[in-house]
């Protein structure tokens, strides 16, 4: 391959020695990109967990009691919050991300209330013969614990993302 000859009259600084004057991407923009990527994986994980909650709320409810209003409310609020969170993540809207944090937290608290209301988990743990008959309630309790742990990571990631999205405050 033929080597280039330096052209006469070449402007200074185009040979790579101008690196001191080039613009550098601010680190918070890199943090925003990493935070958005992490939040996407957390929202995807929450969606899978939410799908399990939908199956429990509509398919595995007790026959004699009818639909569980708390479980259905939890699923509805959780699903809506995931849509809001994804919109906020894609469009970099701080207000939507704040609504996502609050709504998804309310959905998780309703799931916890639903599991606590049933109190079947303690009965199953005390009497191991109930494992087979109450396995769906145990799956729901496990789903709620995992959802709570994922929610903690989602809140910390979203808080960090909001902090990096906001413009830095200038001293007056």
Q: What is the pLDDT of residue 27?
A: 82
- Which of 28-32, 50-54, 125-129 is predicted least confidently? 125-129
pLDDT band at 10 (very low <50, low <70, confident <90, very high): low
Looking at residue 57, its pLDDT comes to 79
Q: Does 3 have pLDDT greater than 60?
A: no
**pLDDT per position as a tens digit, 51-106:** 998 888 777 665 556 677 888 899 999 999 999 999 999 999 999 999 999 999 99
Long-range contacts of 162-168, Cβ-Cβ distance < 8 Å, separation of 24 or more:
162/94, 162/97, 162/98, 164/28, 164/29, 164/31, 164/32, 164/35, 165/32, 165/92, 165/94, 166/94, 168/28
Domain residue limits, the chain: 29-162
């Amino acid at each position: 391959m033929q080597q280039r000859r330096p052209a006469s009259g070449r402007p200074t600084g185009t040979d790579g020695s101008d690196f001191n004057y080039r613009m550098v991407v601010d680190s918070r923009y890199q943090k925003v990109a990493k935070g958005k990527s992490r939040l996407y994986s957390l929202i995807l994980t929450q969606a899978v967990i939410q799908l399990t909650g939908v199956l429990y709320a509509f398919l595995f409810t007790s026959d004699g009691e009818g639909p569980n209003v708390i479980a259905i409310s939890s699923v509805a609020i959780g699903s809506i919050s995931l849509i809001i969170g994804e919109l906020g993540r894609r469009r970099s809207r701080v207000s939507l991300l704040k609504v996502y944090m609050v709504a998804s937290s309310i959905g998780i608290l309703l799931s916890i209330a639903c599991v606590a209301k049933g109190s079947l988990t303690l009965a199953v743990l005390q009497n191991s013969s109930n494992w087979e008959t109450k396995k769906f309630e145990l799956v729901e309790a496990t789903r709620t614990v995992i959802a709570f742990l994922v929610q903690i990571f989602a809140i910390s990631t979203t808080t960090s993302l909001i902090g990096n999205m906001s413009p830095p405050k200038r001293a007056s």
